[in-house]
Amino acid sequence: MLLMVSLIFRFGRCWTAEGKPAPVALDLLDLDPDPLTQFQRWYADWCKVCPSDPEAMFLATSSPEGQPSVRTVLMRGLDERGFGFFTNYEGRKGRQLSQNPLASLLFYWPEPGRQVRVEGSVVPMAEAESDAYYASRPRLSQLGAWASHQSRPLESRHQLLERLHELEQRYPEVVPRPPHWGGFRLRPASWEFWQAGEFRLHDSFRYDRRESGWSILRLNP
Ligand SMILES: Cc1cc2nc3c(=O)[nH]c(=O)nc-3n(C[C@H](O)[C@H](O)[C@H](O)COP(=O)(O)O)c2cc1C
Q: What is the pLDDT of residues 75-115, one digit of tens each?
A: 999 999 999 999 999 999 999 999 999 999 999 999 889 99
pLDDT of residue 13: 44
Identify any residues that bridge with 70 across adjacent strands, giving them in sequence order.
60
Residue 200 has pLDDT above 90, yes or no: no
Q: Which fold has domain 2-136+179-219?
A: Pnp Oxidase; Chain A (2.30.110)
User: What is the average pLDDT across 182-202?
Assistant: 96
Give pairs for 138-142: CB < 8 Å, separation 24+: 139/175, 140/164, 142/175, 142/177
Question: Cα(139) to centroid of ligand 1, in Å?
Answer: 19
Atom of ligand 1 nearest to the CA of 76: 8
Which of 55, 63, 69, 72 for a ligand 1 pocket mutation test, highest count of atoms within 8 Å of Cβ?
72
Would the CB of 92 count as within 6 Å of ligand 1? yes
More confident of the two residues 107 and 15: 107
95-to-83, 89, 91, 115, 150 alpha-carbon distances in Å: 19, 6, 6, 28, 11
**SS3 label, residue 176:** coil
Question: Which stretch of DSSP H or E encloses residue 70?
Answer: strand 68-74
Catalytic residue flag (residue 200): yes
Parse the chain into domains and list their residue ranges.
2-136+179-219
The DSSP call for residue 15 is: B
